[in-house]
């Protein structure tokens, strides 16, 4: 494994996508709590910012990761960035093959895969000019195991996991690290349909920033992620079937 370490949070200039709520908001709060010099909070509509985000004092930036123009403008506005957290995500709540909306999977891929790719392409020159930098990609347990009944989301996160590895291989020579976070069930709006214990988003952010600073390639951020990887390694077929059953029950519960 590479010995390249990531950027220390204290004094860093951090960009967070999908910063209005959930894990994105937690990254903003945690980066500031750990002494980041600046945090740029990327949101799709700067006129529709949550009170929690406003209270952080972060610099709000218009940033829809599906927009080439927004991403280019953000790279120019945040030209002193040293850390980029690719957190913005979309779970359309549809199946993949038996989809009610055949375009849902394309929308998920646009946000969850092409969004981080746009950001990395746009911000790699920014971090290179700084002499060092770190990308953090917020992924999911669904990235490491085919997850039926959230198939578009799962495939897009799996693609983003490979993106992280390839980007790291290309960018390490510029002093840029890339850390992929495998996240389990977290207490956010996106996971409202999932039953059982859910992690505090701030704990995910805290763990993710620590993994970035250590230069880890991937990090299982919580108990569900750790246990999922272990079960997958022991018996992949049984794990995938169990995961499909769990997600099917969740689908029935929400009526989708």
**Residues designated as active site:** 153, 157
Q: Of 118, 121, 117, which Cα lies nearest the Cα of 67?
A: 118
User: Pairing mode, if any, of strands 38-43 and 13-16?
Assistant: parallel
The long-range contacts involving 66-71, CB below 8 angstroms and separated by at least 24 positions, are 66/110, 66/111, 66/114, 66/115, 68/118, 71/118, 71/119, 71/122
Q: At what angle do helices 115-130 and 151-171 cross, to 10 degrees?
A: 20
With tokens 């969740």, the residue in question is 250
Report the distance separating Cα 73 and Cα 212, nearest Å: 25
3-state secondary structure of 5: coil
Do residues 45 and 71 lie in contact, with contact meaning Cβ atoms separated by under 8 Å?
Answer: no
With tokens 């949101």, the residue in question is 43
């Amino acid at each position: 494994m590479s010995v390249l370490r990531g950027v220390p949070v204290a004094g860093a200039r951090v960009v967070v996508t999908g910063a209005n709520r959930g894990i994105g908001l937690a990254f903003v709060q945690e980066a500031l709590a750990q002494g980041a010099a600046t945090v740029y909070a990327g949101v799709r509509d700067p006129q529709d910012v949550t009170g929690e985000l406003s209270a952080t004092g972060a610099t709000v930036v218009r940033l829809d990761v599906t927009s080439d123009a927004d991403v280019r403008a953000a790279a120019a506005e945040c030209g002193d960035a040293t850390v980029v957290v690719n957190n913005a995500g979309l779970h359309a709540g549809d199946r993949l093959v038996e989809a009610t909306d055949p375009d849902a999977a394309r929308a998920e891929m646009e946000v969850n895969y092409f969004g981080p790719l746009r950001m990395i392409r746009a911000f790699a020159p920014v971090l290179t000019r700084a002499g060092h930098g770190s990308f953090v990609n917020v992924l999911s347990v669904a990235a490491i195991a085919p997850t039926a009944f959230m198939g578009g989301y799962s495939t897009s996160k799996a693609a983003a996991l490979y993106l992280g590895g390839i980007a790291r291989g290309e960018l390490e020579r510029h002093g840029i690290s890339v850390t992929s976070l495998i996240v389990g069930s977290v207490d956010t709006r996106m996971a409202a349909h999932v039953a059982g214990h859910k992690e505090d988003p701030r704990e995910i952010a805290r763990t993710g920033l620590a993994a970035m600073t250590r230069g880890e390639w991937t990090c299982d951020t919580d108990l569900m992620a750790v246990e999922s990887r272990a079960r997958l390694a022991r018996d992949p077929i049984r794990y995938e079937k169990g995961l499909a059953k769990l997600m099917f029950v969740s689908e029935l519960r929400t009526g989708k």
